[in-house]
Structure 1
Amino acid sequence: MSQPPFPPRNGQLMPNGRARPGAPAGARSASLAPQPRYVDYGNPRAYDTSVRPATGLTASRYAPAQLQRPDRVQPQSAWSTQMRRVQEVSQEATKPPTVSLLVWLTAVVLGFGLVVVLGLTFLSFIVTSSANPAWWTVTAFLALISLIVIALVILLADRWDPQPFPLLGIAILWGAAVAAFVSYLLNTGVSLLTYSLTGSNGLVEFIGPVISAPLVEETSKGLGLLLLMLLARRYFNGPLDGLIYGALIGGGFAFTENILYYARGLEDGGGVGVVVLFVMRGVLNIFGHAIYTSATGILVGFVVRKWGTGMGFLVFIPALIPGMLLHGLWNLFATLGGGLPFMLVLFGGEALLSLVWLILIMVLIWDESRLTRVRLGDYANLGWLTHEEVDMLATWKGRREGKRWAAQIGAKPVMKRFIRESADLASIRQRLLADGAHPKVVGIEANLLARLTQNRRELLSHAG
């Protein structure tokens, strides 16, 4: 249970809230100012940053972050009364949050890298395949179908607090270009080294998929998560963000890898071979790489949200283990092969894993909405918002009703911005608790609070 934000000031206020006779003038004026109603929103253990493992390593570099106080308590909102009108609307809106130039530059470089990698796969197809080069476009199109499905699932998962599109693009491009290219080189090198040392094709076929691929591929994909955290820590705030970025990295990786596999299937079995591989890899095992890398992202995101950025980097290696194990087990059973019953069991297990993953996405979305409510509640208890507005901004039902009401008064874009930036503010508050009062992040919080006030005033101006 946290304490109300406005405790009595050194006995200067009487129990009824008025200043005692002889109290300083400041106490008298403070007693006349409206005080916000206090509501205990709780502090679930998943968001509690006060207890840290390995205190010396995870202690924040900055002092504990205190809530910034508003100049005055917000009046009852148009959301709850639909009557009050504010005459003056500030025309000096602060700049909306955007990604940095470095993010855009990274996206461009990775995009160029993907063009190079796809060009290399095309050249490899021409050199090694006896099929018409036009078939390469067929393999690329089939691989693209699976990537689009994964991206659509992730976009649905990203509706609560949407990530900037450049960052989502970087995730896909890292997986499709950097991780795929590095993994191909290293896995090929391991296979050649194994054969040169043992001369056994059987050992190569075991070590490559079961040992080398999980270690190399999950590490190369996981490094993309660290890149995103370095580029835009502001938008990497929890397990849902980690899942979103990890799944897109895995989807991008699978896109390039599937092109290579489909080309190989075309050479070995013609069009039928391509169709069989597409069903196996692009349909039945469509979420494989997305699941493996998102497991790393979930763990890193959880640690970052609870114990801060530094601990997120420290936990990276252990966070790779679940994805490596899942990847290795899948490759092991696929390598063992077997008849139709074995394949049905194998893909049935993969379908069950995919179902669990989709359910986990829904759980993490709920968890993110709960965090939004708890952290916006902190601001409501100081008077930045009313508690009715917290209910509107932090529940799906409240958001729908808020947008419906705003549409009736011609302010739906303002309401959508209000909702989006409030969710961003809640994430920033959690980051301040985990990392401490970093001056830059405190500035971001102040900017978002100014925008919150601006959005609120603009909504009220439409409501009159």
Structure 2
Amino acid sequence: MIGFIAAAILSFVPAFMYAAIAYWLDRFEKEPRLLLFGAFLWGAFVATLGAIVWTGLAQASLAIFIGEASAEIAGTTLLAPLVEESLKGIAVVIIMLAFPEEFDSRLDGMLYAAITALGFAATENLLYLYFFGYSENGVGGLISLFILRVILGGWGHAVYTAWIGLGLAMSRLHPNPLIRFIAPFAGWLLAICLHALHNTMAVFLAGEFGLTGLGLTLLVDWSSWIVVLGLVIWEIRREQQYIATYLAEEVAAGIISPAHYVAAKSFSGQLRNRIRSKAASRFYEACAELAHKKHHYINGVGDQRNTIARINQLRRELARLAPEVPTA
């Protein structure tokens, strides 16, 4: 029992810490925490249980034709990535369809996908740390797998599934119909390929060449993490530019003050002002959302009538909140 509790703590506490970092990176328009928690729970329970069942069934069926040993390798390198990424991706699809108003940017898609994947990773790590770590090799095995899976490989699942979120966001927000059609399939396929590459390298390189193989596997993993981090920073800068571009009109109209405008497009200004009050936090959330909605309208994304209605609603909200938000 103690071993299981230790494995649970070492799996879920870091997962929540990684999720907090991902949430922090969403600088301007924060997503609802309840919705993010739901995504985490989907990954931790629905996707994990589904992956165990469906990968097991697929592997057993494949063993009839190619034998158990080959089916086990195929299950790890091909079937598991296919099933796991598909199940994690379903959560992002549900959020996009059920809560389209919370799916305003490519960063939103990547965030929901990453949080779902971190939930999946937490439960998967729990199972590995307990059954293959503590149960087989005691505390030493538990700590070894913790370092390998949670510390060195902690962002793996989040990075794979982030591509699905990016593809789905592009399918919702891109003005080109062809890209809207291709993007979700491309993101899903890339997530599966990156996941399969990791698993294949872990089986054949790390398994055959020890620390050298492990080092090469981690090098490839971390390189993909850097690419995704670069994309996240790019999207953050893009959101900052939207705010700078689209809120200038609100200043000219007298809806927000020049000081509000300067704070809204600044990382430090946002952070400093959000913590002052709930009104200030909501005010700057509405600033970012208004910038996104105006961008959607100009680019012909989504239902234009609903977008105009939301723009007008946000303007009224900003006008109401502005007197309550300090400007110094």
Offset of residue 386 of structure 1: 5.7
What amino acid maps onto 1:230 in structure 2?
L
Structure possessing the higher relative contact order (Cα contacts under 8 Å, 6 or more residues apart): 1
Structure 2 partner of 1:448? 314
Offset of residue 339 of structure 1: 2.0
Counterpart of 1:227 (choices 87, 94, 100) is 94
Structure 2 partner of 1:372? 243
User: 1:292·1:326 contact (CA, 8 Å) conserved in 2?
Assistant: yes
Instruction: Establish whether residue 319 from structure 1 lines up as the match of residue 184 from structure 2.
Output: no
Instruction: Establish whether residue 196 from structure 1 lines up as the match of residue 67 from structure 2.
Output: no
Structure 1 partner of 2:175? 307
The CA distance in 2 between the partners of 1:361 and 1:321, in whole Å, is 20
Offset of residue 333 of structure 1: 0.5
Gaps of 5+ in 1: 1-132
Distance 1:246 1:313, change over 3 A: farther
Counterpart of 2:267 (choices 368, 372, 396) is 396
The CA distance in 2 between the partners of 1:347 and 1:231, in whole Å, is 37
Q: Which stretch shows the higher mean deviation, 254-263 or 347-356?
A: 347-356
Q: Per-residue displacement from partner, 1:402-449 (whole Å, max 9, x unpaired)? A: x39x97xxxx55433322211121122233343355444433222211
Structure 1 partner of 2:141? 273
Distance 1:184 1:459, change over 3 A: closer
TM-score by length of 1: 0.63
Determine helix, strand or coil for the equivalent of 1:307. Answer: coil
What amino acid maps onto 2:232 in structure 1?
I
User: 1:284·1:350 contact (CA, 8 Å) conserved in 2?
Assistant: no
Identity %: 25
Instruction: Establish whether residue 419 from structure 1 lines up as the match of residue 290 from structure 2.
Output: no
Q: Which stretch shows the higher mean deviation, 273-282 or 383-392?
A: 383-392
Distance 1:398 1:146, change over 3 A: closer
Structure 2 partner of 1:149? 17
Counterpart of 2:108 (choices 230, 241, 249) is 241
The CA distance in 2 between the partners of 1:459 and 1:259, in whole Å, is 45
Offset of residue 457 of structure 1: 3.7
Counterpart of 2:85 (choices 199, 215, 218) is 218
Distance 1:413 1:188, change over 3 A: closer
Q: Compare CA radii of gyration and give the structure with the larger one.
A: 1
Structure 2 partner of 1:282? 150
Offset of residue 352 of structure 1: 3.2
Q: Which stretch shows the higher mean deviation, 263-272 or 291-300?
A: 263-272
Structure 1 partner of 2:229? 358
Counterpart of 2:301 (choices 431, 435, 452) is 435
Gaps of 5+ in 2: none
User: 2:171·2:184 contact (CA, 8 Å) conserved in 1?
Assistant: no
Distance 1:388 1:310, change over 3 A: farther
Q: Per-residue displacement from partner, 1:2-41 (whole Å, max 9, x unpaired)? A: xxxxxxxxxxxxxxxxxxxxxxxxxxxxxxxxxxxxxxxx
What amino acid maps onto 1:352 in structure 2?
S
TM-score by length of 2: 0.88
What amino acid maps onto 1:246 in structure 2?
A
Query: Considering only aligned residues, what root-mean-square deviation do their CA atoms show, in Å?
Result: 2.8
Offset of residue 204 of structure 1: 1.6
Structure 2 partner of 1:18? none
The CA distance in 1 between the partners of 2:302 and 2:278, in whole Å, is 33
Offset of residue 356 of structure 1: 3.4
User: 2:107·2:235 contact (CA, 8 Å) conserved in 1?
Assistant: yes
Count of residues in correspondence between the two structures: 323
Determine helix, strand or coil for the equivalent of 1:339. Answer: helix
Distance 1:437 1:340, change over 3 A: closer
The CA distance in 1 between the partners of 2:67 and 2:22, in whole Å, is 44
Determine helix, strand or coil for the equivalent of 2:65. Answer: helix
Offset of residue 187 of structure 1: 0.6
The CA distance in 2 between the partners of 1:435 and 1:141, in whole Å, is 43
Offset of residue 380 of structure 1: 4.5
Task: Please identify runs of 4+ aligned residues in structure 1 that moved more than 6 A.
Answer: 308-311
User: 1:305·1:430 contact (CA, 8 Å) conserved in 2?
Assistant: no
Offset of residue 452 of structure 1: 1.1
What amino acid maps onto 2:283 in structure 1?
F
What amino acid maps onto 1:421 in structure 2?
A
User: 1:308·1:431 contact (CA, 8 Å) conserved in 2?
Assistant: no
